[in-house]
Amino acid sequence: MAVGRSTKLVLFDIDGTLLSIAERELNVFGLALERVFGTAGSIEAYSFAGKTDHQIAFELLSGAGRAASQIELGLPDLKDCYLEMLDEMLDTSGMAVLPGVIELLDQLAKDSSVVLGLQTGNWEAAAEKKLARFGLARYFVVGAFGDGQLDRNTLPPLARDRAEQRVGGRISSSHTVIVGDTALDIACARTWHMASVGVATGSTSQLELRSAGADLVVPTLADLDAGRLLGLTSRKPS
């Protein structure tokens, strides 16, 4: 694909946006923390929404009194343990592709001016497992993931840089849109002057997504078509 003035980058979150969130997955993360570190901290009162896996581990374990050096040392084991347990969970969980996802991705994939990517707090290997399990990996050519990232706001420029490398040219912020289900997804877009679509299929309401500053809010992705989404990327390039 050759980059042009009309090239558009669409970045999707995964959990709550493309796939429903299985409560068991959150439990699996907690079990992995307990198995590797001996504690999951105050996980019962903790919100996972919009955060990176790296950030989640640090916040829960720091709150439980673990030193940053100890957390860093144990992260590879935590990731391995979580991924092993995730394989089992994906075979038996109620996680599913959310309404309208396949239809929207099919529409976008047919547009030669569109680069489809991911902007997700999942560790990359976890994202790959989830997408492969539900046949979605084929749609995405680039992505930015939660590996080593404590702040989700670092992800959009990483994803855009990788998209630019892929197409061999610049993609402006004004031609980029982030699709996500949390206020943190919307905050990422606003930080980098990108457009945003808030979809209320996670734990964040339509009102909360609007209040966060989303350019467009929909109940589900079944209520969104490619033309309406790409219309958000038709502004003057920045």
Does CATH number 1.10.150.240 belong to domain 23-92?
A: yes
Query: For the chain, what are the domain ranges?
Result: 8-21+96-233, 23-92
Q: What tens digit of pLDDT does each residue of 74-84 get?
A: 999 999 999 99
| One-letter amino acid for residue 136 of the chain | L
Q: Which residues pair with 10 in a beta bridge?
A: 116, 177
Q: Give the global pTM.
A: 0.92
DSSP reduced 3-state for 51: coil
pLDDT at 235: 55
- For residue 217 the two structure tokens come to 């809010």
pLDDT at 2: 47
Q: DSSP letter at 119?
A: E
pLDDT at 234: 64
pLDDT at 80: 96
* 176 within 8 A of 195, measured Cβ to Cβ: yes
Distance CA 118, CA 108 (A): 14
What CATH number should be reported for the domain whose range is 8-21+96-233?
Answer: 3.40.50.1000
8-21+96-233 and 23-92 share one fold = no
> Burial of 76 by CB count in 10 Å (0-12 exposed, 13-18 middle, 19+ buried)?
exposed
pLDDT at 95: 84
Distance CA 131, CA 150 (A): 23
Distance CA 152, CA 187 (A): 9
Positions in the chain whose pLDDT score sits under 70: 1-5, 92, 234-238
Distance CA 36, CA 17 (A): 29
Distance CA 137, CA 133 (A): 9
pLDDT at 238: 41
* 115 within 8 A of 8, measured Cβ to Cβ: yes
Give CA torsion, residues 72, 73, 79, 82, to 10 deg: -110
Q: DSSP letter at 98?
A: P
CA distances from 210 to 16, 176, 181, 199 (A): 17, 19, 11, 10
